[in-house]
């Protein structure tokens, strides 16, 4: 079911969505490049320019359907140094980890933003925190093509042939889970305590900047 946001809602969500998606994909590109694979750099993805990372259709779907996507960062596994599985796992971790760093940073700076007494700015900061936590948790799901599947494959011993098999059907499985609503209670069971922790950081930030 599509929800049509108001122009104001789009305005206060857009910065958070663009920041979250852009830095998530940039982190993948940066990690891959540091681990020996220059593919993303050669394709112009080692940048924080949103145009290089944001998929227009995926962005619209985020606003109107509640889920979306960015342009996947190309990774050539055999170019990665050291253990291919370990390096691919580190590249995959980089995206969600960066989203969590952004959420924590925004929480720490929340009090500073509140000193401007701007309701839209405060709403943008809230969205930066929430959207980045959601992106981090969602991408850690062990379902291809999400980062969590490659992270799990890197942690478990032995060959993970299930990953190759699920790659063929992962997107379909993910869409079914999203449209049936099965994922929502699972995700929010994880997201809620993390957002509670972010609120504690926000309270600490407010105590520094507002008092």
First to last CA, the chain: 44
Lowest-pLDDT range of 58-72, 119-133, 165-179, 192-206:
165-179
Per-domain boundaries in the chain: 7-209
Q: Region 32-46: what's the mean pLDDT?
A: 96
pLDDT in tens, 49-64: 999 999 999 888 888 7
Question: What phi-psi label fits residue 66: left (phi over 0), alpha (psi between -120 and 50 degrees) or beta?
Answer: left
Instruction: Assign 192 a pLDDT band (cuts: 50, 70, 90).
Output: very high
Q: Region 166-191: what's the mean pLDDT?
A: 84
Helix axes of 7-34 and 119-139: crossing angle, nearest 10 degrees: 50
Is there a contact between 107 and 172 (Cβ–Cβ < 8 Å)? Answer: no
The whole-angstrom separation of Cα 63 and Cα 173 is: 22
Count how many Cα atoms sit within 13 Å of the Cα of residue 135 in the half-sphere of its side chain.
31
Is there a contact between 122 and 106 (Cβ–Cβ < 8 Å)? Answer: no
Determine whether 135 is exposed, middle or buried from the number of CB atoms within 10 Å of its CB (0-12, 13-18, 19+): buried
Active site residue 123: no
Q: Catalytic residue among 9, 25, 123, 159, which?
A: 25
Question: What phi-psi label fits residue 44: left (phi over 0), alpha (psi between -120 and 50 degrees) or beta?
Answer: left
């Amino acid at each position: 079911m599509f929800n049509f946001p108001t122009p104001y809602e789009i305005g206060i969500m857009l910065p958070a969505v663009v920041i979250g998606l852009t830095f998530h994909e940039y982190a993948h590109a940066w990690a891959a490049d540091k681990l020996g694979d220059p593919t993303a750099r050669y394709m112009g993805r080692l940048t924080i320019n949103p145009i290089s990372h944001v998929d227009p259709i995926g962005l619209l779907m985020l606003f109107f359907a509640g889920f979306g996507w960015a342009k996947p960062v190309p990774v050539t596994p055999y170019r990665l140094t050291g253990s291919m599985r370990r390096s691919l796992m580190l590249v995959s971790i980089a995206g969600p980890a960066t989203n969590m760093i952004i959420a924590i940073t925004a929480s720490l700076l929340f009090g500073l933003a509140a000193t401007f007494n701007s309701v839209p700015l405060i709403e943008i900061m809230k969205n930066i925190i929430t959207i980045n936590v959601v992106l981090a948790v969602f991408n850690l799901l062990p379902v291809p093509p999400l980062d969590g599947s490659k992270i799990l494959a890197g942690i478990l011993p032995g060959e993970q042939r299930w990953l190759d098999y699920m790659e063929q059907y992962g997107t379909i499985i993910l869409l079914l889970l999203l449209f049936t609503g099965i994922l929502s209670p699972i995700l929010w069971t994880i997201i809620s305590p993390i957002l509670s922790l972010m609120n504690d950081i926000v309270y600490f930030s407010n105590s520094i900047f507002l008092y």
